[in-house]
Amino acid sequence: MSVKPTIVATDDGSNTLVHPTIGAHYHSTFGAKQESDFIFIKEGLDFYVNKLNVKSVSILEMGFGSGLNAYNTLLHGLENNISIKYCGIENFPIEEHMIPELDYPRILNSEETTNLFYKMHSSKWETYAQISEDFSLKKLNISLENLKLQDKFDIIYFDAFSPKDQPELWTENVFEKMFCLLNPNGILVTYCSKGIVKNALRSVGFDLLRLAGPPSKRHILRATKP
């Protein structure tokens, strides 16, 4: 039986999904776009590009979900001439009929790239697809626990459901896997700053920095592989 999330509006007017069995929201209810902009673009992609002065990055997202972070990253890459190789992990892909209802091209003021948003969602799974000239995407339908990759990445967007909802995704074993998937000087960014998460990240070798979060979120985390 397929999983059928429902779509709900968040406080900044952007939409998110609610998982039907876990009951968890895919993005912050205070603002899905706001969360994506601040945590994953500003403190993830922009930080890495500016720190290392690069124009080409590889990104792994844990929790592809609605495709918001991937689409937002694609748009940011287009605006800033950044070449991006993007891999998204999703155990419960959404159904095709839900994609128009998310309305992200309009919400992100980029209706001229609507075709790219649909192309992301319609691209084949398990292989890289060229979404735009400088953005390639591979979607993997697999659980985080079973993930095995040969690729290495510069940035990890760790956007899994919360430790309260899925504690098995926030363990030392999982973060050790993330550590191994990163290139040296690579970073992992996440919305969750709970003590158990900080301890798990430090225990596997990450240098950890707690940062001020977006409005309505006190702190977020950025972890760097030395």
Q: pLDDT for 33-46, tens place per residue?
A: 999 999 999 999 99
Sign of CA dihedral 112, 115, 116, 118: positive
> 32: how many CB neighbours lie within 10 A of its CB?
29
| Residue in 99, 138, 132 with CA at minimum distance from that of residue 116 | 132
The tens digit of pLDDT for each residue in 167-202 reads 999 999 999 999 999 999 999 999 999 999 999 999
Q: How sure is the predictor about 119, in pLDDT bands with cuts at 50, 70 and 90?
A: very high
Domain range summary for the chain, segments of one domain joined by +: 31-224
> Which segment of 22-26, 63-67, 165-169, 189-193 scores lowest on mean pLDDT?
22-26
Q: How sure is the predictor about 159, in pLDDT bands with cuts at 50, 70 and 90?
A: very high
Write the DSSP assignment of 44-86 as a string of letters. Answer: IIIHHHHHHT-SEEEEEEE--TTSHHHHHHHHHHHHHT-EEEE
Domain 31-224 has CATH 2.30.110.10: no
**Prediction pTM value:** 0.95
Distance CA 149, CA 181 (A): 8
